[in-house]
């Protein structure tokens, strides 16, 4: 009946379903399921389900004992990623398994949300359907929601960076040399940044790296994944799939989304000031940029 009424409404007012879809709000994460269990056992079940539904597990990351993140890719993601500038940021999706109280929450990044946030040439509809088939769908969460149109021109507030204003971390003579430099820097781990996964975009000189960031002491906490998440991921349903952070090698240049965009796109409703706010991680954007730049072979003060 609801579908019939919707159709009548559209016919009567001359509004297409495509227009209605454009007005629909998208949220950054999808809760697949929650229930009793342990993280390690549930992560194994999740990996098997993802593989059965056509995904390749590119890597896993355990930023703290209560959580494991599984990074996946597939042909649709890699193909669509090749069709837009810096589309490689969307060449993988993140699945989180998080222990909260007595329950384990299985959640994942919303492909449609990320595709629009990263201005990709498609909405990753097939990927969304396969993630839902593998992991279920209880609800979308993580924000009040943004329309596709707003996501494609999103920035947190006046003066903050957009998607098309990433940090250029380093530049090399060729794509191959740039990739090698990033691999070398991640293997060394001198800045507390290490490799989680690598995904090569289909038919394009673009490679996406996922990275773990672990800082030491009070000086290092501003780029530390665990510390940052302890300040901003405070709600009952966890947004663990915000991690890991990413580096993109596009042609001969190495990029990272500036943290005032990359963090905000996962937490667009986070307050500017007060408890559990961006003010609490005010030093994080520059700390992250510096660590990633040095890891990629760039300069600390390059902007």
pLDDT at 3 over 50: no
- In a domain, residue 43? The reply is yes
- In a domain, residue 33? The reply is yes
Number of domains in the chain: 1
- In a domain, residue 110? The reply is yes
| CATH label of the domain that carries residue 274 | 3.30.310.70
Range of the domain at 96: 26-151+158-295
Query: For residue 232, what are the CA distances in angstroms to 40, 73, 198, 226?
Result: 24, 27, 26, 10
Question: pLDDT value at position 69?
Answer: 99
Question: pLDDT value at position 50?
Answer: 98
Question: pLDDT value at position 303?
Answer: 59
Question: pLDDT value at position 300?
Answer: 82
- Asked if 271 and 277 touch (Cβ cutoff 8 Å), the reply is yes
pLDDT at 231 over 70: yes
Which residues, in sequence order, are bridge partners of residue 24? none
Question: pLDDT value at position 218?
Answer: 86
* Backbone φ and ψ of 261, nearest 5°: -95, -50
In tens, the pLDDT along 172-223 reads: 999 999 999 999 999 999 999 999 999 999 899 999 999 999 998 888 999 9
In tens, the pLDDT along 71-90 reads: 999 999 999 999 999 999 99
- In a domain, residue 12? The reply is no
pLDDT at 8 over 70: no
Query: Rounded CA gap, 101 and 225, in Å?
Result: 21
Query: Rounded CA gap, 249 and 178, in Å?
Result: 7
Q: What percent of the chain has pLDDT over 70?
A: 92
Query: Rounded CA gap, 50 and 48, in Å?
Result: 5
pLDDT at 36 over 90: yes
Question: pLDDT value at position 274?
Answer: 87
- In a domain, residue 2? The reply is no
In tens, the pLDDT along 110-126 reads: 999 999 999 999 999 99
Question: pLDDT value at position 136?
Answer: 98
Question: pLDDT value at position 6?
Answer: 45
- In a domain, residue 8? The reply is no
Helix (H), strand (E) at residue 88: none
| 218 closest CA partner among 209, 227, 229 | 227
Identify each DSSP E strand in 143-244 by its residue range: 146-147, 167-171, 193-200, 206-213
pLDDT at 293 over 50: yes
- In a domain, residue 9? The reply is no
Give mean pLDDT, residues 29-39.
Answer: 97
Question: pLDDT value at position 219?
Answer: 81
- In a domain, residue 16? The reply is no
């Amino acid at each position: 009946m609801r579908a019939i009424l919707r159709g009548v409404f559209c016919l009567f007012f001359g509004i297409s379903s495509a227009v209605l879809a454009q007005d629909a709000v998208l949220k950054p994460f999808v809760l697949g399921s929650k229930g009793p269990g342990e993280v390690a056992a549930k992560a194994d079940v999740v990996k098997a389900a993802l593989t059965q539904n056509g995904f390749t597990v590119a890597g896993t990351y355990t930023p703290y004992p209560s959580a494991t993140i599984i990074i996946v890719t597939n042909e649709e993601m890699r193909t669509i990623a090749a069709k837009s500038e810096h589309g490689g940021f969307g060449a993988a999706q993140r699945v989180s398994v998080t222990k909260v109280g007595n329950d384990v929450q299985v959640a994942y990044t919303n492909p449609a949300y990320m595709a629009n946030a990263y201005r990709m040439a498609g909405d990753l509809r097939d990927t969304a359907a396969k993630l839902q088939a593998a992991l279920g769908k209880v609800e979308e969460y993580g924000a009040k929601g943004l329309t596709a149109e707003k996501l494609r021109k999103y920035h947190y507030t006046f003066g903050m960076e957009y998607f098309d204003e990433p940090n250029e971390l380093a530049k090399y003579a060729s794509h191959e040399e740039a990739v090698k430099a990033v691999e070398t820097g991640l293997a060394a781990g001198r800045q507390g940044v290490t490799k989680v996964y690598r995904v090569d975009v289909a038919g394009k000189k673009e490679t996406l790296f996922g990275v773990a960031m672990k800082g030491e002491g009070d000086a290092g906490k501003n780029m530390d994944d665990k510390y940052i998440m302890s300040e901003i991921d405070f709600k009952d349903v966890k947004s663990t799939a915000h991690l890991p952070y990413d580096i993109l090698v596009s042609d001969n240049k190495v990029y990272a989304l500036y943290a005032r965009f990359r963090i905000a796109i996962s937490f667009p409703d986070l307050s500017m000031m007060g408890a559990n706010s961006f003010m609490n991680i005010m030093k994080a954007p520059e700390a992250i940029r510096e660590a990633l730049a040095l890891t990629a072979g760039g300069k600390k003060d390059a902007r």
